[in-house]
Structure 1
Amino acid sequence: MREPFIRNHQYNVIKKQAGILQHALGTVADLKILESVKYTTESKIMEMFPGATAEQKQMLETVSTLRTKEDFAKYLRDLEAYLTEFPAITAKQIQKLFPKNKKLKLPDLAAIDYRYVTYLSWIDIASNKLFIVYPVNGQFVGVEGRYNPTNKKNYCFVCNRFEELALFSAITKKRPAGTSPDYYKAVGNYMCAKSHDCNKNITDTTALEKFIDAVMG
């Protein structure tokens, strides 16, 4: 029985490292350099899975034995069977995360391939708001904020890739002691204008989790 154990962002790392090795095999003639690239590729993949079983390790480590374009494509395709899905969530659960939004417009949840989702997000064009749902310690949290497209490309703070960006700003729920009832503080950053691209690129969840923590308190 196949037990899923690879998260979306980890799969993106594997794709990136496999791509680096594939490129090296096609452009580098020095065998010592190639061996170094193979070692680095395998090491960066394996360090993400310290608790991997012997079978999982063997499967992941085969990356260093790949030679052809077809080999790499098959390797990545075979690993897709071991992708863990974004935790199941219903429309009612999402609505409870955003209780103040009585007319919350949700994405088509049935149309999403949750294997390739690190964080769930969608845009309400009518209100210029972006909504994010993310699991933290086994519980879903919801973050909403203003969404302002920049129509410019730069590096996304979530996935660190050069993409078209939007400024996302949310009001933090942290409130210092002694502040007035009117106190508020916005936390903002530039992220991919399209969450699909961001989920396809993300290789580390640290920046996203820090942002969510800054907003949620």
Structure 2
Amino acid sequence: MYKPFIRNHQYNFMKKQADLLQNTLRTNADLKVLESVKYSVQSKIVDLFPDVPASEKAMLGSISTVEKAEDFQAYLRQFVPYVSEFPAITEKQIQKLFPKNKKLKVPDLSTIDYRYITYLSWVDISTNKLFLVYHQNGQFIGIEGKYTLTSKKSFCFLCNRFEELVLFSAVSKTRPAKSSPDYYKSVGNYLCMDSQACNKNITDTLALEKFIAAVVG
């Protein structure tokens, strides 16, 4: 019986480290450099999961012994059963996260592979809004805001990959002490237009959680 312990962004990180080691093996003949990269990759992957049993740590650490392209794929495949799913969410649950949107258009949830998403996001072209759902501390958090097409490529603040971006701006619910009734603050940043691609690339949730904290407190 497999006990999932790997989140989507962590699995993406493992893939990124595996690619780094594979590229080093392919292009660098210096043994000292190769050993250094092997040690770094192994340490970074194992250190992601300080609380897993010794058997799983041994599996994670075996990345240092992999050399062939097909073996890298086999290394990553063995962890697919250990990838924990984004908690299943229903259309009604999503609607409760955005109570002011009476005609909220929810994506087809049956088409989503919850193992490979860190956050759920979609756009409503008719209202020019972007909706984002994240699961943190045992509960779902919903954020909505305006999105603006940029017609350019740059680095997404969530996955740090060079992609087509939109500017996502949400009204912050946090208020400074003794602020006036008219106080208004918008929090914005550039993120991938294609949330599916972003979910495939994201390797860390720090920027996402920081953004959420700035909006909802």
Q: Which moved more, 1:178-187 or 1:101-110?
A: 178-187
The code of the aligned residue for 1:119 comes to Y
**Alignment size in residue pairs:** 217
Task: Please list every run of 5 or more consecutive structure 1 residues that lacks an aligned counterpart in the other structure.
Answer: none
- Residue aligned with 1:199, SS: helix
Distance 2:176 2:115 in 1: 39
* TM-superposed deviation, 1:161: 1.2
- TM-score w.r.t. length of structure 1: 0.97
Aligned counterparts, 1:63-78, within 5 A: 63-78=63-78
Moved more, 173-182 or 105-114: 173-182
Task: Calculate the aligned-residue CA RMSD, in Å.
Answer: 1.0
Q: CA deviation at 1:64?
A: 0.8
Match of 1:136 in 2: 136
Structure 1 residue aligned with 2:178: 178
What corresponds to 1:33 in structure 2?
Answer: 33
Per-residue CA deviation, residues 118-174 of structure 1 (Å, 9 max, x unaligned), is 011111111111101111211111000001111111111111111111000000111
User: Letter of the aligned partner of 2:41 in structure 1?
Assistant: T
Q: Deviations over 1:20-47 (max 9, x none)?
A: 1011111111222111111011011111
Task: Quote the offset at 1:175 in angstroms.
Answer: 2.0
Counterpart in the other structure of 1:83 = 83
Quick one: which amino acid aligns to residue 97 of structure 2? L
1:58-95 Cα deviation digits (max 9, x unpaired): 11111111111100111112211110000111111110
TM-score (norm 2): 0.97
Work out the CA distance in 1 between the residues paired with 2:7 and 2:179.
Answer: 41
Residues 91-121 of structure 1, C-alpha deviation per residue, up to 9 Å, x if partnerless? 1111000000000000111100011100111
Q: Which secondary structure does the structure 2 equivalent of 1:64 belong to? A: helix
Question: Share of identical aligned residues, percent?
Answer: 66
Q: Which portions of structure 1, spanning 4 or more consecutive aligned residues, are displaced by more than 6 angstroms?
A: none
In structure 1, C-alpha distance between the alignment counterparts of 2:71 and 2:136, rounded to whole Å: 36
Tell me the amino acid that sits aligned with residue 108 of structure 2: D
